[in-house]
A and B are shown apart, each in its own frame.
Chain A
Amino acid sequence: DAGVTQSPTHLIKTRGQQVTLRCSPKSGHDTVSWYQQALGQGPQFIFQYYEEEERQRGNFPDRFSGHQFPNYSSELNVNALLLGDSALYLCASSLRGNQPQHFGDGTRLSIL
């Protein structure tokens, strides 16, 4: 039973570029949440997708956008990258949003 998988594992970008991160939820899950974890900090909620729509959003600018596909997988897009966007981006999946969230190993994004 595959858990939550994220790709790529690591990514290096330069300021101003755009990036797309991908997440496949755990089998049987239909909801995907994204979190940003800066070094030495706890994860911060970016948004959650359910039924291909953004259901809840945290305090992140519009540069952060997402998408959920009919197979429940999801993408996180970040435009106009800033140095402060360097972080571990975690994807979590759950069933209908109120069940416990299962986390992937994350994508480490470094901005130069």
Chain B
Amino acid sequence: KQEVTQIPAALSVPEGENLVLNCSFTDSAIYNLQWFRQDPGKGLTSLLLIQSSQREQTSGRLNASLDKSSGRSTLYIAASQPGDSATYLCAVKEDRGGSNYKLTFGKGTLLTVNP
């Protein structure tokens, strides 16, 4: 059974700091990995999606890496801003030969960026 773990559970940093969020998964047979952002009481906004054959993806100040063999991904946020404050969720889609469609999520990291 796939399990996704995110560390740390919560993180508080001053504005301008670079930071790294961690995600690990137990079964390396994944189709892709996705990072989401969730604001309080809201739905999920997709930030980056990395296919299993890729090593990293970048969007603006965000960079996500994937090491499938070790079951790890990191989300790097450069020059953090108060508007980055949210919960960040990691999710994997397992590769089951085309018969799996669900995402398996971690519990998330609650990020607070202080002005």
User: Digit string of A46-74 for contact with B (CB within 8 Å is 1, else 0)?
Assistant: 00100000011010000000000000000
Per-residue B-contact encoding for A73-112, CB less than 8 Å = 1, 0 else: 0000000000000001010100001101111111010000
Chain A residues positioned under 8 Å from B31 (CB to CB): 98
> If the complex has contacts A90-B43, A90-B44, A103-B44, are A56 and B106 also in contact, measured as CB distance less than 8 A?
no
A101-B42 in contact (CB<8A) = no
Q: Are A56 and B4 in contact (CB under 8 A)?
A: no
Chain B nearest CB from A33 CB (Å) reads 7
Q: What's the interface size class on A, roughly?
A: 20 to 34
Asked if B43 contacts A103 (CB within 8 A), the reply is yes
Report if A56-B102 is in contact (Cβ < 8 Å); known contacts: A41-B107, A42-B89.
yes
A40 at the interface (CB under 8 A from B): yes
Contact between B101 and A43, CB atoms less than 8 A apart: no
Residue of A nearest to B98 (CB): A98
Interface contact B101-A100, CB-CB below 8 Å: no
Give every chain B residue within 8 A of A33 (Cβ-Cβ).
Answer: 101-103
Among residues of A, the one whose C-beta sits closest to the C-beta of B90 is: A42
Shortest CB distance B106–A (Å): 5
**Which residues of A (1-56) have their CB < 8 Å from a CB of B?**
4, 31, 33, 35, 40-45, 48, 55-56
* 4 nearest CB pairs, A to B: A42-B105, A45-B102, A103-B44, A105-B43
Chain A residues engaging chain B, CB cutoff 8 angstroms: 4, 31, 33, 35, 40-45, 48, 55-56, 58, 88, 90, 92, 97-98, 100-106, 108
